[in-house]
Amino acid sequence: MDRAGGFFDEMLGGGETARPPYSGFCDWLAGEETARLNKKSKEAETFFRRTGITFNVYGAEGANERLIPFDIVPRIISGREWARLSRGIEQRVRAINAFLYDIYHRQEILRSGRVPVDLIADNEAFLPKMIGVAPPGNVYTHIVGTDIVRTGEDEFYVLEDNARTPSGVSYMLENRETMLQMFPELFSKIRVQPVSDYPKNLRRSLAACAPERCDGKPVVAVLTPGIHNSAYFEHSFLADQMGAELVEGHDLRVVDGKIAMRTTRGYAPIDVLYRRVDDDFLDPLNFNPQSMLGVPGIMDVYRSGGITIANAPGTGIADDKAIYSYMPEIVEFYTGETAILKNVPTWRCSEQDSLDYVLEHLTELVVKEVHGSGGYGMLVGPAASKREVAAFREKLVAKPANYIAQPTLSLSTVPILTRKGLAPRHVDLRPFVMVSPRGINITPGGLTRVALKEGSLVVNSSQGGGTKDTWVLEE
């Protein structure tokens, strides 16, 4: 296998023998022919295409629907490693929920000076309409996707927090289903923690967040923007797997102080709405009046306790990359503990000293939009051309508060299968977390995204990345 110098290899570490989590897999791999593996890889692509597992690329020419490449070499994490990650993720999610409750109520963290007031007041993701509103169980982030990267044997960093509408869980589930079908012998040989109960656990978690005015068994529905949304496959997949209704804005209306969905027998009330529509489009009476995706009046029903919206409106403030830079302070403020999972060092370009440093070292850093996502609007300095750096410099100088910068991390690698055999590629990990008044449930594993281009650090599917099955081993 080709080796990538200077990066932690999760399969081999620094030597030629497999690290303990990979020992069983490597024993199996040694008895497999490359031709058979390549054939299995093509079978996986056929399976994904037949199942309809695609995503849309906005602005792309020609056919917009694409297949996310799937690599059959799993990413394997030991039970010990996962236990530490889980503790860190749970601590962070608890702190984020406490932070959101605080900034929409007493704002004690602002009064203490730990987070600057203008970072909240001037932030487009902060919703004044949520001030004083307490969601059922004080849960703001019902589903969280925490992006984690690894740089060494015991070195993990949180890259960003996805607290609005984190996507990708359908790929985690389908990746595992595909591997189970293609390599059943592997799962009888290696004890891997299951992920298939995610939809059942998600429904239970959402139902546990039903509002007080819920009568009987909570009715759960998934709100989608429609078939043209990039994640529509996931919306329909999760609704089907949970046994929940998939609805669009035009299917819903306010009836007797509750949100009701259209059925063949008239309108039936909904108790919990798992929305995959952004805040701005959620309610044309309260936000964007041009929105055709939301439900007129849903915010008034929400504030009166007639429905639970998951995730709660206004949670996007916790996605903000400038807020991210304060997460160690936020964790300590609300938990009284030092953060278990470290942040990536971050320069806030809104601060003159930081801006000066970033401008001077632009070719060495990764610069991101504060509200950006999907790998768009960012500069990877070491991989950028002189023209790209110059153009980005102009944008940075014009609106410095729109950006943060981080060092280029030495992301760990996991092998992918190429025509010539195994080759290392950089990966990240998005574990999925469910939060309810009953507790926090973290699915063992998550979505491993892999940069398929040699040397690339950008793992996003919209930027040419692929996915892997993530195995967390039983201890």
For the ranges 5-14, 126-135, 210-219, the lowest mean pLDDT is seen at: 5-14
| Per-position b or e across 237-255, b if 16+ CB within 10 A of its CB | bbbebbebbbbbbebbbbe
Residue 275 reports pLDDT greater than 50: yes
For the ranges 104-118, 365-379, 381-395, 410-424, the lowest mean pLDDT is seen at: 365-379
The more confidently predicted of residues 437 and 14 is 437
Instruction: Show Cβ contacts of residue 334 under 8 Å, excluding neighbours closer than 6 positions.
Output: 94, 95, 98, 99, 102, 109
For the ranges 230-234, 238-242, 368-372, the lowest mean pLDDT is seen at: 368-372
- In this predicted structure, what is the pLDDT of residue 65? 61
Instruction: Show Cβ contacts of residue 460 under 8 Å, excluding neighbours closer than 6 positions.
Output: 374, 375, 449
The more confidently predicted of residues 6 and 208 is 208
- In this predicted structure, what is the pLDDT of residue 67? 76
Residue 377 reports pLDDT greater than 90: no
pLDDT in tens, 303-323: 999 999 999 999 999 988 889
- Rounded CA-CA distance 8/127 in Å is 41
pLDDT in tens, 239-256: 999 999 999 999 999 999
- In this predicted structure, what is the pLDDT of residue 52? 67
Residues pairing with 406 in the sheet: 366
Domains and CATH numbers, the chain: 20-211+307-343+409-472 (no CATH), 347-407 (3.30.1490.270)
pLDDT in tens, 346-366: 999 999 999 999 999 999 999
Q: At what angle do helices 169-182 and 198-207 cross, to 10 degrees?
A: 150
Query: Alpha-carbon dihedral of residues 399, 112, 326, 321, nearest 10 degrees?
Result: -40
- In this predicted structure, what is the pLDDT of residue 3? 45
For the ranges 48-57, 161-170, 263-272, 426-435, the lowest mean pLDDT is seen at: 48-57
Task: Name the average pLDDT for the chain.
Answer: 91
- In this predicted structure, what is the pLDDT of residue 456? 81
Count helices and strands (H / E) in the chain.
14, 23
- In this predicted structure, what is the pLDDT of residue 62? 43
Q: Give the SS3 label for residue 334.
A: helix
